[in-house]
């Protein structure tokens, strides 16, 4: 009886409508009412008059539009500015990959200095340009929290890490110091710094070599090459070539700075960073003459003519493409963790072109090439043959292999053992899209006469559109969206197959500029656009969760970004007739600064701003005297909810 009561109560409780349900419902209602995005006025067309008869926003809309007048940030907004470096002609600044840290190379009189986040470093004769081909001076760690650079002080080069001297050396390249004298890098875990130094003392053997440095410790005498780092960043191995004028070259394997007790080459670390694979040539008394041993931590585990070793991203699995047989009748086969996989042998001219691992490191797919066909071998099992196979990968949950295939002038999307409908030949070039989690797969393909087709989870959807672009899944994999080009209705957003009536990216010739943003929590979608119903002027607006709101008239807006907890939405808005831009959060202007480039806001500036994990927005700007970083903490009085007409407390959907 208790169970019956519970069931009845549950059945009577209405399911809470999600944001995505509301978005799709708004699109369906708009379509039912005949509301369609309309073409914006083309150059030379006379704008139609608005309700007030003067081509301007009507009073009810005017209060929502913020152009370039004076503003006051919402109450509770916290804004702090930090001077990063004084402005100087020809100064060069570099920005970290994360954290918006800035290193600026400038002159101090006749000397050179590096400013880092406003702190000036010591003076040097020269800051050495790195040999990256991009003119950079500073190397940042992957996490953006550390930096290093090389400088010249007289007849020595100095390595500076996080503002402190780590090492110096007088070893030069023909008496000079350049990018090859000190080529810097950080390990994957950002804990260690390393560099290589090209040294040329003389043309005599042994006087021309490459020195490898790890955390300030130099390699032994000899030339270091083929450096291999473990995935966790804590280990390294390389081959040392020892030369002198009177003897043949000698070789050694160096592991974590120490000479190994065995000689081998081609070092590769296992995915779990616990083991080192190497290869060692052996002379044998057969027609083959030489063979190669595959070593695991110095011990032989397999023998063949040669090995091309693939290492799983995690765990300890390896797959080797090995050659064997005889010189007169060679063959190729697969070996997993040193053991031959039965049934994978193939004679020349066939072979294997590629090995791909699943994200969890437990499965593999090898692309096998035959005379006229290709096929995959997945975990030792042969799959269907095709004339061509491309884009091999595994779903994010590692459960299925995914690839594009072609046979008889038709292309297919294959997921596991399920083959899609036949598509036009050119669809082979379409790279399937994987959801960030789970096993969902999508692809933009084409049918006959270039008709646009959407492939989603094994289904073929023919929306009858002129074009489809920017297919994306939400971060939780439950929803998808794309940009639709409709010759009659312009360009708009489609969510889970439902065209959004309130969405308009403008006419189809503007489709290449169409962009949209999905929130990290997978509950919101937004994009800049135009009014769904023509206004006859240059109104620009924001589409958010199925609703359109005007935001300005004819001004450039860019970099629409949700904050990490998805409660706030930020963008940049150019200020007319200036090089300045305005920072807008939740539809309210909060700060204004001059752009760092004479181009103003541009796509190359994407790393010049970033939301921090705590929700603070860092933005780089400048004034007449200095380069500065603005830290903005959004007000608790504004949020996505307030933009949508609710209260800030309702921001959690």
DSSP string, 136-190: --EEE-TTSS-EEEEEEETTEEEEEETTEEEEEE---BTTB--GGG-EEEE-TTS
List, for residues 97-154, the tens digit of each pLDDT value: 889 999 999 999 999 999 999 999 999 999 999 988 788 999 999 999 999 999 999 9
Sequence-ordered list of residues with C-beta below 8 angstroms from that of 2, at least 6 positions apart, any chain: none
CA angle 122, 123, 127 (to 5 degrees): 105
Strand partners, 480: 473
Short-list 517, 509, 515, 471, CA closest to 490:
509
How far apart CA 147 and CA 70 sit, in angstroms, is 39
Looking at residue 287, what is its pLDDT? 65
Percent pLDDT > 70 in the chain is 87
- The model's confidence at residue 351, banded by pLDDT at 50, 70 and 90, is very high
- Average pLDDT over all residues of the chain: 88
Q: Is pLDDT larger for residue 231 or for residue 244? A: 231
Short-list 294, 314, 310, 215, CA closest to 256:
215
How far apart CA 366 and CA 378 sit, in angstroms, is 6
What is the mean predicted confidence (pLDDT) over 81-99?
90
Q: Is pLDDT larger for residue 517 or for residue 45? A: 517
Question: Is the CA virtual torsion 638, 642, 647, 649 positive or negative?
Answer: negative
As a dihedral over the C-alpha atoms of residue 329, residue 332, residue 337, residue 341, rounded to 10 degrees, the angle is -90
Least confident of 263-277, 351-365, 470-484, 586-600: 586-600
Looking at residue 563, what is its pLDDT? 97
- The model's confidence at residue 28, banded by pLDDT at 50, 70 and 90, is low
Looking at residue 48, what is its pLDDT? 34
Looking at residue 70, what is its pLDDT? 87
Percent pLDDT > 90 in the chain is 72
- DSSP classification of residue 507: S
What is the mean predicted confidence (pLDDT) over 444-459?
94
As a dihedral over the C-alpha atoms of residue 416, residue 422, residue 424, residue 429, rounded to 10 degrees, the angle is 0
Short-list 313, 216, 219, 303, CA closest to 269:
313
Sequence-ordered list of residues with C-beta below 8 angstroms from that of 473, at least 6 positions apart, any chain: 433, 434, 435, 436, 440, 442, 479, 480
């Amino acid at each position: 009886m208790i169970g019956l009561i519970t069931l009845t109560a549950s059945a009577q409780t209405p399911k809470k409508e999600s944001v995505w349900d509301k978005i799709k419902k708004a699109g369906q209602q708009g379509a039912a009412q005949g509301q369609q995005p309309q073409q914006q006025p083309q150059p030379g067309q006379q704008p139609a008059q608005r309700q007030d008869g003067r081509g301007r926003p009507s009073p009810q809309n005017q209060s929502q539009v913020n152009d370039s007048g004076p503003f006051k940030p919402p109450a509770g907004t916290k804004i702090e500015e930090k001077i990063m470096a004084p402005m100087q002609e020809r100064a060069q600044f570099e920005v970290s990959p994360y954290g918006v840290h800035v290193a600026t190379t400038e002159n101090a009189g006749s000397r050179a200095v590096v400013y880092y986040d406003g702190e000036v470093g010591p003076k040097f004769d020269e800051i050495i340009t790195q040999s990256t081909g991009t003119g950079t001076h500073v190397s940042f760690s992957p996490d953006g929290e550390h930096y290093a650079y090389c400088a010249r002080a007289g007849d020595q080069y100095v390595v500076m890490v996080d503002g402190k001297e780590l090492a110096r050396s007088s070893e030069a390249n023909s008496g000079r110091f350049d990018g090859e004298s000190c080529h810097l890098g950080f390990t994957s875990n950002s804990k260690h710094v390393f560099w290589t130094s090209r040294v040329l003392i003389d043309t005599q053997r042994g006087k021309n070599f490459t020195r490898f440095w790890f955390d300030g410790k130099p390699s032994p005498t000899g030339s270091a090459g083929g450096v291999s780092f473990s995935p966790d960043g804590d280990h390294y191995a390389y081959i040392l070539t020892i030369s002198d004028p009177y003897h043949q070259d000698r070789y050694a394997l160096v592991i974590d700075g120490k000479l190994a007790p065995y000689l081998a080459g081609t070092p590769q670390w296992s995915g779990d960073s616990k083991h080192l694979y190497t290869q060692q040539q052996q002379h044998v008394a057969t027609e083959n003459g030489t063979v190669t041993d595959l070593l695991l931590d110095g011990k032989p585990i397999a023998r063949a003519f040669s090995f091309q070793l693939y290492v799983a991203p995690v765990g300890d699995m390896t797959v080797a493409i090995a050659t064997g047989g005889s010189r007169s009748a060679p063959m190729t086969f697969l070996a997993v963790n040193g053991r031959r996989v039965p049934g994978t042998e193939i004679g020349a001219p066939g072979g294997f072109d590629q090995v791909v691992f699943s994200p969890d490191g437990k499965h593999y797919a090898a692309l096998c090439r035959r005379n006229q066909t290709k096929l995959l071998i997945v975990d030792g099992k042969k799959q269907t043959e095709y004339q061509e196979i491309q884009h091999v990968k595994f779903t994010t949950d590692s459960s299925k292999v995914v690839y594009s295939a072609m046979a008889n002038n038709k292309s297919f999307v294959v997921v596991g053992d399920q083959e899609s409908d036949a598509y036009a030949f050119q669809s082979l070039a379409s790279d399937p899209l994987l959801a960030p989690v789970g096993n969902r797969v999508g692809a933009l393909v084409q049918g006959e006469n270039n008709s646009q087709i959407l492939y989603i989870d094994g289904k073929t959807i023919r929306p009858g559109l002129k074009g489809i672009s920017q297919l994306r899944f939400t971060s939780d994999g439950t929803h998808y969206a794309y940009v639709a080009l409709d010759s009659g209705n312009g360009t708009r957003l489609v969510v889970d197959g439902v065209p959004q009536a309130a969405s308009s990216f403008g006419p189809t010739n503007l489709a290449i500029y169409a962009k949209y943003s999905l929130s990290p929590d997978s509950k919101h979608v937004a994009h800049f656009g135009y009014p769904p119903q023509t206004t006859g002027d240059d109104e620009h607006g924001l589409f958010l969760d199925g609703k359109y709101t005007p935001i300005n008239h004819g001004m450039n807006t860019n970099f629409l970004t949700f904050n990490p907890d998805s409660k706030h939405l930020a963008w940049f808005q150019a200020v007319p007739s200036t090089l300045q831009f305005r920072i807008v959060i939740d539809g309210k202007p909060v700060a204004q600064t001059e752009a760092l480039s004479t181009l103003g806001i541009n796509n190359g500036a994407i790393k010049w701003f970033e939301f921090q994990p705590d929700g603070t927005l860092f933005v780089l700007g400048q004034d007449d005297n200095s380069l500065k970083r603005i830290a903005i903490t959004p007000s608790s009085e504004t949020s996505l909810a307030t933009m949508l007409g609710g209260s800030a407390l309702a921001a959690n959907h």
